[in-house]
Structure 1
Amino acid sequence: MGKLLPIIEGHFSIGDLLREAAERSIELGYVTETIPEIDAPAMSGMILAEEVQPGLLVSGFDLTYTAECRLDAKVERSVCCAVLLEGSGEPLEVQGHPPVTHEIEHVVIFGFGETKICTRPWHRGQHAKVFSVTLEPRFFERFGDMVADDGIAILERYIEPGVHSASLPWSRRIVDQAHEGLVAPYGGSLRSLFRESQALRFTLEVAALLQEEEQLIRKIGRRQYDRVRHARELLDRSLVEPPKLLDLARELGVNVSTLQANFKAAFGTTIFGYVRSRRLEMARILIHDHGLGIAEAGYRVGFTNAAAFTVAYRRHYGHPPSARR
């Protein structure tokens, strides 16, 4: 327990990371052409890394980089589930594998079936907020023969020989848990229990999403699933002014009726219902987390009439937008 880096906050250098890593037998390399001294300030913010159970590691950071540099890391056999919450991240360069990109608020799974060297570059002024959970082989070994054909079994496949990666569909629960996982509301042993519970909850949600995705692929086929997932991603990018159904179907290369049927089979709602639900969810965040007025929040998510927004909100949540539940 206690492997990796402790919580670091403030301004620090690459040297700080290397010294902490050396104390914990973590192999890190350092490559840069723009910082003359390894102890020169390179970033500011917060870094978290902690082994909360044997083979279960939680890590994350909320950083603004103050210099151009690259960090090499030797990664042993493991699977990492990471989500970029804010900012931007450069593609992860993996030895012998195409670069792995991050899409904001989507979990990216990196599976290493063997030891690999990974490189993460960053740029001056770049900001990134990331939460991740890493599972080592000994985490899966505890289940023994109890690992069935479920999400945990799917995660375990990512540590089979080779390098594997995948991006999961957007999930509000996973995003919320990732934000919570970077918060430490307790101290001492309570903080350790909190970190452990957050890592397990996050892992559970990722495993459940993997299982759900696999079941949907079996139900409607990989090709149709990829299409409706792409449709959902296109809708998420333009919720205020979503594309017309005919235009969406044309872009995906499928007719409207097939797209509607497969979308409902995959996600349990119509395309119109999905767009409205996501709009109302965005409005709820704008009102209760960012303090916007009801009419302004409704307008921001595409409602031109405050009364219509209030009616839709009440129907969806069971209470008016002025009441927080």
Structure 2
Amino acid sequence: MTLENLIPPGGMTPNDLVRLGAEFALGVEPVEMAPQVLDTPLYTGRLLAHEVQPGLMLSAGDVTYICDQGFAVEMAPALVCGIMLSGQPVRTEVEGHGSFVRLPHQVNLMGFDRPIRYTTPLERGRNFRTAGFVLQPAFFERFAEDIDDDGVSALRELTTGGFRTATITHSPRIGEIARLCLEHPYGGQLGRLFLESNALAYVIEVAQALKDERRLVALLGRREYDRVVHAREILDGDLVNTPTTLELARRVGINVTTLQANFKAVFGRTIFAHVREQRLMMAKILLQEYRLSVAEAGRRVGFSRPSAFSAAYRRHYGHPPRSERHQSTGMRPG
């Protein structure tokens, strides 16, 4: 059967094309695009490595190391970006350039215009969930003169001048993109398209975050910017016993009004709005994974009235909290 034989005399409608695609799909076995399950003498878990476009490699992993080891990597000139979704801080040694520490939920960037070798010591039993991308020179070359107009120039700058590093504070959007590298539900050509789209979204979000961070550092000064970032780290580190704004200001060494103003400038929301958003995320986990009632989940995260909790939850997620319990499997994490 040829394609010409399937085309009706009057041409094909969009619906005809979909039906034709469905017929051909019956004869094609979809390619698995999920991370591969591996069990080696060094580590066990899942790994994904996929070149989604020339010069753009997407990688992700959820692995547990079986023995103590130094994980060494040799790389040609590139920009490496990654986020540790879960795990403990690790120190990476770069030959000829010293070391730097990677922290959970922190976006780490490493750029170099010549081959390098770096080593990360890893301990037995430690688990890491990571996701990132690698941009090779071919990626930047494809943009030619337009690169300054699309935000990617901030990333390209890191690949000049030898070896350079940068960090970006945690972004919920970047974290979600990274998570989907590991957890996406697609296979075959749809999976390929999703990974390409997700990788490009990853690059764009990181580039924009890097530009925004540089702009804010220039506006506030590095010291004041770092104080605000530290304040958010304190808040995120203990969402159950959240410090008062006054206590938070004292801990980071800044007055309350300056902290309020700079926090809003850097993160686009007030301290209270940030804590409320994080607690709504906690509530989602309590509903889905721990099967708490709506009233109890709301009470646990600080709402005195279920109606107020439901309204805030709907505004944030676009659906009422009770729908989370209907969708939940009821499995409590072990």
TM-score w.r.t. structure 2 length? 0.79
Q: CA deviation at 1:136?
A: 0.9
Check whether the contact 1:151–1:209 (CA below 8 A) recurs between aligned residues. no
- With over 3 angstroms needed to count, the CA separation of the structure-2 counterparts of 1:151 and 1:237, relative to structure 1, is farther
One-letter amino acid of the counterpart of residue 293, structure 2? G
Rounded to whole Å, the distance in 1 between the matches of 2:152 and 2:146 is 10
SS for the counterpart of 1:148 is helix
Amino acid at match of 1:310: S
Gaps of 5+ in 1: 1-5, 13-40
Q: C-alpha root-mean-square deviation of aligned residues, in Å?
A: 2.5
Confirm or deny: 8 A CA contact 2:84 2:131 kept in the other structure.
Answer: yes
SS of the equivalent of 2:108 reads strand
CA 1:51 to 1:171, structure 2 compared with 1: closer, same or farther past 3 Å?
same
The equivalent of 1:232 in structure 2 is 232
* Residue in structure 1 matched with residue 16 of structure 2 by the alignment: none
CA distance in 1, matches of 2:150, 2:258: 29
Question: 2:39 matched to which residue of 1?
Answer: 11
Q: Which runs of 5+ in 2 are unaligned?
A: 1-33, 328-334
What is residue 52 of structure 2 aligned with on the other side?
Answer: 52
CA contact (8 A) 2:177 2:198 kept: yes
Question: Partner of 2:266 in structure 1?
Answer: 266
- Which residue number in structure 1 is paired with residue 29 of structure 2? none
Is the counterpart of residue 90 in structure 1 residue 90 in structure 2?
Answer: yes
Q: Identity of counterpart residues, as a percentage?
A: 44
Partner SS state of residue 129, structure 2: strand
How many residues of Structure 1 are paired with residues of Structure 2 in the alignment? 292
Is the contact made by 1:114 and 1:161 (CA closer than 8 Å) also made in structure 2? no
Q: CA deviation at 1:278?
A: 1.7
Which one-letter code corresponds to 1:301 in the other structure?
V
Aligned-pair CA distance for 1:191: 2.9
- Native 8 Å contact 2:36 2:47 kept in 1: yes
User: What is the SS of the residue equivalent to 2:102?
Assistant: coil
Shift of 1:127: 0.9
Give SS of 2:46's match: strand
Q: Taking structure 1 as the reference length, what is the TM-score of the superposition?
A: 0.81
Q: Letter of the aligned partner of 1:246 in structure 2?
A: L
The structure whose Rg is larger is: 2
**In structure 1, how many angstroms separate the alpha carbons of the residues matched to 2:87 and 2:299?**
25
Counterpart amino acid of residue 73 in structure 1: V
Whether contact under 8 Å (2:35, 2:182) holds in the other structure is no
Q: State the distance in 2 between where 1:302 and 1:101 align.
A: 35
How many Å apart are 1:303 and its aligned residue?
A: 4.2
How big is the shift at 1:125? 1.2
Amino acid of the structure 2 residue aligned with 1:230: H
| Greater mean deviation of Cα atoms: 239-248 or 171-180 | 239-248
Partner of 2:155: 155
Report the alpha carbon displacement of residue 139 of structure 1 after superposing the two structures with TM: 0.6
- Corresponding residue SS for 1:67: coil
Tell me which residue corresponds to 2:134. Answer: 134
Query: Secondary structure of 2:152's partner?
Result: helix
Tell me the residue number matched to 1:219.
219
2:181 alignment counterpart: 181
